[in-house]
């Protein structure tokens, strides 16, 4: 399913609000998504065909926190379909620098990384050619609002070959968002309404 003309965000949201207050509101909305299981199933049903269509060899994704869409089952199915595919999870080496990515499979031992987020324990570094990026909020023109650390913006800007950037979010968090100078748009957004 594709959303050729995504629905417009509610008027008066996003552009005029302080970003910290906006994040707080959107995180609460994401936590309260009705029929979460159904919404996640629809995201998964749209995401897997997109990954197949893009001919990705190494997919960077994220360990789910704070009610983000859990992409692990989709990534596991994507990996199982072709032995030449690889997946990688990000690790924060220190604040203010791009993310490092390390190979992951469903059997990879994990350890606690910065901010208590699990990271692969002792696997090789990887250079993804596509990234799944969680969105606290996202706009119709494919800009995302993250947690405010700037990790993904720095990572996308620093990679020698820009990866395909796929934002993942829920329709409850679609907003009118004023992009800032360092913000980079996603190539794709996937929500429970489809792919755009």
Q: Binding-site residues, please?
A: 19-23, 68, 144-152
Contacts of 132 (CB under 8 A, 6+ apart): 47, 59, 60, 61, 62, 71, 75, 166, 168
Cα-based torsion angle of the residue sequence 156, 111, 109, 101 in order, rounded to the nearest 10 degrees = 10
Binding region for substrate: 68
Query: Which is nearest to 46 in space by CA: 162, 169, 134, 129?
Result: 169
- Asked if 88 and 57 touch (Cβ cutoff 8 Å), the reply is no
Q: Which residue has the tokens 């089952």?
A: 73
Binding region for ATP: 19-23, 144-152
């Amino acid at each position: 399913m594709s959303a050729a003309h995504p629905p417009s965000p509610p008027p008066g949201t996003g552009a005029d609000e302080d970003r910290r207050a906006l994040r707080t509101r959107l995180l609460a909305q994401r936590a309260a998504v009705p029929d979460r299981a159904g919404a996640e199933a629809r995201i998964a049903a749209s995401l897997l065909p997109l990954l197949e269509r893009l001919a990705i060899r190494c997919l960077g994704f994220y360990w789910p926190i704070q009610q983000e869409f859990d992409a692990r089952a989709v990534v596991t199915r994507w990996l199982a379909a072709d032995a030449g595919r690889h997946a990688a999870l990000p690790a924060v080496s220190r604040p203010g620098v791009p993310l490092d990515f390390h190979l992951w499979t469903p059997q990879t031992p994990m350890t606690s990384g910065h901010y208590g987020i699990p990271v692969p324990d002792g696997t090789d570094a990887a250079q993804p050619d596509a990234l799944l990026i969680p969105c606290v909020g996202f706009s119709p023109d494919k800009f995302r609002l993250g947690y405010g650390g700037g990790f993904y913006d720095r990572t996308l800007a620093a990679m020698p070959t820009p990866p395909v950037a796929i934002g993942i979010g829920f329709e409850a968090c679609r907003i009118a968002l004023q992009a800032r100078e360092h913000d980079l748009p996603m190539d794709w957004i996937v929500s429970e309404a489809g792919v755009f």
